[in-house]
Homo-oligomer: A and B are copies of this chain.
Amino acid sequence: MRFTSEQRLDDGVLEREFTLGEIPGILWTPESVSAPAPLILLGHPGGLRKMYPRLAERARHSVAEGFATATIELPGGGDRPRSAAAEEARADLLRALGAGEPVNDEIVDRLVLPLVEKAVPEWRTALDALLSLPEIGGPVGFSGGVISIGIRLAVVEPRISAALLFAGSFVPRTMFEEARQVTVPLQVLLQWDDEGNDRQLALDLFDAFGSREKTLHANMGGHTGVPQFEGDAGNRFFARHLK
């Protein structure tokens, strides 16, 4: 892990860009800490540069409550090498959506499963590096999407203690089986009229999770319309489980 830039934002937030081998990432921490801060990993759909404004806003909101937050670029996202198979799956998905056709399971599998396979070990490597910093301690939460990455991480990575998952992306059928193995406390965000997301499938997925404590927050509006107050609700969820 190599820090490549550092800037102080207002509100006492220190933002540092880093690389982890070929993978770029960003770490936000409180400028001054008296004890190692619990860490929230910020999930996103890929494309750090495009997602930066929204990620930074989420990060600053969490840092203000005493959390460290970090994110890394997804495989194929931003300037990272694209896989021909993923590009083809994405093109097939866009074609189906554009034609108003149902998106069949086979396309979703081709799009999401290889991404999960590749991304999850990278997040775990990032976790090793982040937790070795003196200003960061455990426990660790995952917040955001891609929801399938969050599910797999929650299943295979024992250092994840709580997850706030955004039900805003296509989910392969096989992930329902993995969802049953998730046992950490969950908060699931659902946008009721998400253009690219099947509401019933999201409700079925919520039902499938094995966690004893799980809460669904459904709000009106489309994919990008998550209300601002869910930022506070997320902080309170993580405060209950990471502090």
Contact = CB atoms under 8 A, between A and B. Distances in A.
Given A203-B203, A207-B192, A229 B220 contact: no
A235 to B, nearest CB: 11
Nearest to A237: B229
Contacts of A211: 220
Contacts of A219: 214-216
A218 interface: yes
A217 interface: yes
**A206, A217, A227, A240 interface centre (most CB from chain B within 10 Å):** A217
A50 interface: no
A236 interface: yes
Nearest to A207: B192
Nearest to A192: B207
Interface residues of A, number: 20
Given A229-B240, A236-B229, A236-B232, A214 B220 contact: yes
A213 interface: yes
B220 A217 contact: no
A122 to B, nearest CB: 32
Contacts of A54: none
Given A229-B236, A233-B233, A236-B232, A206 B218 contact: yes
Interface of A: 192, 203, 206-207, 211-220, 227, 229, 232-233, 236, 240
Given A192-B216, A215-B219, 4 more contacts: A203-B203, A206-B218, A212-B220, A216-B216
